[in-house]
């Protein structure tokens, strides 16, 4: 892990060389990070207003272990952001991509958008009272645009529809060797109903409240593209409905802010095609199970010494929330 004192002069050199208006940088601070990946906020100083920016990088250049094993290389993420922008999806603008010669590892610099990403604030603050009723429909429209990406416009991405993901998560669950009868029930249900998707499309993979930047007009940016893959587009419509991502607002299935009807109407209006609600429900079940097994993964990382924070340890106790959600879905 690096400190801002080491990074600042290197980053300043890079930014002033590659961004025409930039004369220096200030305000460099680390936003978050795991052991291998870093996210930094800073401003580029110009003759006029400073430019708010974000640096995402992997100092070592190579990818490290990730929670799902499917996280993308950062230069690929940058390409996806550029493609998303071309498709009319609201995303931060990529300003530069690191090359190995820059000596900063792999990664990219993008625009830092103004808005809110904390789910409970999006759901409760007065600032978003007018935006909230529009969000579910906007999410549907945005997903239709992502799913419409032509296959030949995409960089190399892993392919994972339902059969692959069920097998992957069953293998993880078995490896952890802790009995969850409700997970076994859900896995049987999913395997018994597994079908190949109607079509293969670009799937965001983590499209949910928590990864959306919202302002007074609605969705201003879609973030966290690192789990992008090719697969069943209904996956994205199901994931945003998983109860954990409603942040307490259980009666608003889409992100805690809207209805499935609004989501599907936005999707269809933006050219996404007719939505099969049963197929979306299937992905809500699979998404709920995945999140439950991801909680087991986070505990396993804690246990192996990979991350010793109390937060990492305690998330293991969140898998029970997915068990009640699965029982409700399977018994309905």
- By CB under 8 A, name the binding residues for other proteins: 179-182, 184-185, 187-188, 243, 246, 248-250, 309-311, 313-314, 317-318, 320-321, 323-325, 327-328, 330-331
Least separation, in Å, of the C-beta of 246 and other proteins? Answer: 7
Q: What is the DSSP string of 130-149?
A: TTHHHHHHHHHHHHHHHHT-
| Beta strands per DSSP E along the chain | 24-33, 38-45, 51-58, 94-97, 106-111, 201-203, 212-215, 218-222, 229-231
* Shortest spacing between CB 327 and other proteins, in angstroms: 6
Q: CA torsion angle for 311, 317, 322, 328 (degrees, to 10)? A: -140
* Beta carbon nearer to other proteins, 188 or 195: 188
CA-CA-CA-CA torsion sign (112, 117, 311, 171): negative
Pick 64 or 248: Cβ nearer other proteins: 248
Q: In angstroms, give the least distance from the CB of 326 to other proteins.
A: 9
Give me the least distance between CB of 310 and other proteins, in Å please. Answer: 5
Q: Residue 130 or residue 328: which is nearer to other proteins going by CB?
A: 328
The minimum distance between CB 40 and other proteins, in angstroms, equals 15
What is the spatial order of strands in the sheet that 106-111 belongs to? Answer: 24-33, 38-45, 51-58, 106-111, 94-97
Which residue, 304 or 320, has its beta carbon nearer to other proteins? 320
Name which of 220 and 246 has its Cβ closer to other proteins: 246
* Residue 288 Cα distances to 91, 116, 162, 309, 324, angstroms: 26, 25, 13, 24, 10
């Amino acid at each position: 892990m690096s400190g801002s004192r080491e990074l600042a002069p290197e980053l300043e050199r890079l930014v002033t060389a590659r961004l025409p208006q930039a004369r220096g940088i200030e305000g460099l601070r680390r936003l978050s990070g795991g052991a291998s990946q870093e996210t930094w906020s800073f401003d580029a100083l110009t003759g006029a207003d400073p430019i708010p920016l974000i640096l995402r990088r992997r100092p070592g250049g190579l990818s490290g272990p990730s929670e799902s094993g499917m996280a993308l290389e950062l230069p690929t993420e940058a390409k996806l952001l550029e493609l998303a922008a071309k498709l009319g999806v609201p995303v931060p603008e990529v300003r530069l991509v690191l090359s190995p010669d820059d000596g900063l590892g792999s990664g990219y610099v993008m625009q830092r958008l103004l808005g809110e990403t904390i789910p409970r604030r999006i759901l409760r603050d007065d600032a978003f009272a007018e935006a909230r009723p529009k969000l579910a429909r906007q999410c549907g429209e945005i997903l239709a645009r992502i799913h419409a990406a032509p296959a030949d416009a995409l960089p190399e991405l892993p392919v994972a529809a339902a059969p692959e993901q069920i097998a992957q998560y069953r293998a993880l669950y078995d490896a952890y060797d802790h009995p969850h009868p409700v997970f076994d029930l859900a896995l049987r249900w999913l395997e018994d109903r597994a079908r190949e998707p109607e079509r293969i499309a670009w799937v965001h993979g983590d499209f949910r409240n928590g990864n959306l930047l919202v302002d007074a007009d609605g969705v201003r940016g879609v973030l966290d593209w690192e789990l992008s893959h090719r697969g069943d587009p209904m996956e994205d419509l199901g994931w945003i409905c998983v109860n954990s991502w409603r942040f307490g607002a259980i009666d608003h299935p889409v992100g805690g802010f809207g209805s499935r009807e609004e989501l599907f109407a936005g999707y269809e209006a933006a050219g996404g095609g007719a939505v099969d609600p049963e197929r979306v429900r299937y992905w809500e079940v699979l998404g709920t199970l995945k999140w439950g097994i991801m909680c087991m993964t986070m505990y396993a990382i804690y246990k192996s010494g990979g991350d010793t924070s109390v937060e990492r340890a305690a998330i293991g106790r969140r898998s029970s929330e997915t068990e009640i959600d699965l029982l409700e879905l399977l018994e309905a």
